[in-house]
Amino acid sequence: MVFLLLPLIIIALVILLSGFRIIPQNYEGLIETLGKYTKTVKAGLVWIVPLIQNSRKVSLALQPLEISKYSIITKDNAEITTSLTLNYLVTDSYRYFYNNTDSVESMVQLIRGHLRDIIGRMELNEALGSTSQINTQLADAIGDLTDIYGIKVVRVNVDELLPSPEIQRAMDKQLTADREKTAAIAKAEGEARNIELTTKAKNDALVATAKAKAEAIKTEADAEAYRIERLQQSLNNAGEGYFKNESLDAFNNLASGPNNLIIMDKSEMTELGKVPAAKKIWDKLDQEEQATPETEE
């Protein structure tokens, strides 16, 4: 009798032991009874009724996901290719597993739709320069997906926005043209500035030369006026007898010449002596001026 019960006991023990399940850390277990959801259990050792109940494990850990490149049309009908990455976690294992056949794919389709809507309201240049703004709008649009898919998107980031090859070639040509235009303008401005500086330098040189000449003429005129003033002072200071002697010498010189006939008023005879006297004084002033630089040196 004992031998007959022993196999039954062993089978019963095996069945009982087969009902134990281990739910790992950061997982939840969904218990089903005859295919119908019964309850959700936390991590640890769980026992279910063998052959009647079943358990499913759902990870609650943060999951990374990369959405492959796909095309979007902007407001100005330009085609761009975008790709993004995100991190999500399951916040409601029941909704995640039972409400959708594939909650992750449904979430991806929702995110793509929001991204198409956001970029579709932007022109190409605006979209290419507004990655941070797009990330913010996309995160606000997604919100908390717990009630729909049992998922929460923790972070979403648009990694790249690439125009189509045709648009890239057109943009490269435009960029090259803009650079050439900027370089031509800079070169023209440089040449104009060079001409302006050269002209100013020439004008400054002409002005300086003119000023130097004016100063030289003024100096020469001042010297001439000074010599005339000295001459006049010397003539004024000379005595009447001096001019008479000079007049006699002048008459003697004239008498010794081939043309020795002179007719003049008596009052002019003394004035005649001033001519050789003035010449002597003038020559003396010249000698003084020539000696002055040598003395200064």
Residue 89: pLDDT band (50, 70, 90) is very high
Kindly state the average pLDDT of the residues 98-121: 89
Kindly state the average pLDDT of the residues 130-137: 87
Same domain, 26 and 71: no
Please tell me which residue, 99 or 168, carries the higher pLDDT value: 99
Please tell me which residue, 109 or 252, carries the higher pLDDT value: 109
Same domain, 230 and 142: no
35 has pLDDT over 90? no
pTM as predicted: 0.54
- Which DSSP category does 18 fall into? T
The CA distance from 16 to 18, in Å, is 5
Q: Does some domain include residue 117?
A: yes
What is the predicted pLDDT for the residue at 294? Answer: 45
Same domain, 34 and 95: no
CATH assignment of the domain containing 95: 3.30.479.30
- Which DSSP category does 24 fall into? P
Residue 185: pLDDT band (50, 70, 90) is confident
What is the predicted pLDDT for the residue at 216? Answer: 82
Same domain, 39 and 92: no
Helix/strand number for the chain, H first, E second: 10, 9
Please tell me which residue, 14 or 258, carries the higher pLDDT value: 14
223-263, pLDDT tens digit by residue?
777 777 766 676 566 555 555 555 555 555 655 555 555 55
Number of domains in the chain: 3
Same domain, 49 and 82: no
The residue type at 26? N
Least confident piece of the model among 32-46, 173-187, 280-294 = 280-294
Q: Does some domain include residue 215?
A: no
Domain that includes residue 138, residue range: 63-168
Residue 79: name the closest of 68, 67, 90, 69 by CA: 69
What is the predicted pLDDT for the residue at 223? Answer: 75
When the pLDDT of each residue in the chain is averaged and rounded to a whole number, the result is: 77
56 has pLDDT over 70? yes
Q: Does some domain include residue 47?
A: yes
Encoding tokens for residue 283?
């020559």
Kindly state the average pLDDT of the residues 200-206: 84
Q: 287 burial class (0-12, 13-18, 19+ CB within 10 angstroms)? A: exposed
Same domain, 68 and 51: no
% of the chain residues with pLDDT over 90: 10
What is the predicted pLDDT for the residue at 2? Answer: 60
- Cβ within 8 Å of residue 203, ≥6 positions away: none
Same domain, 81 and 130: yes
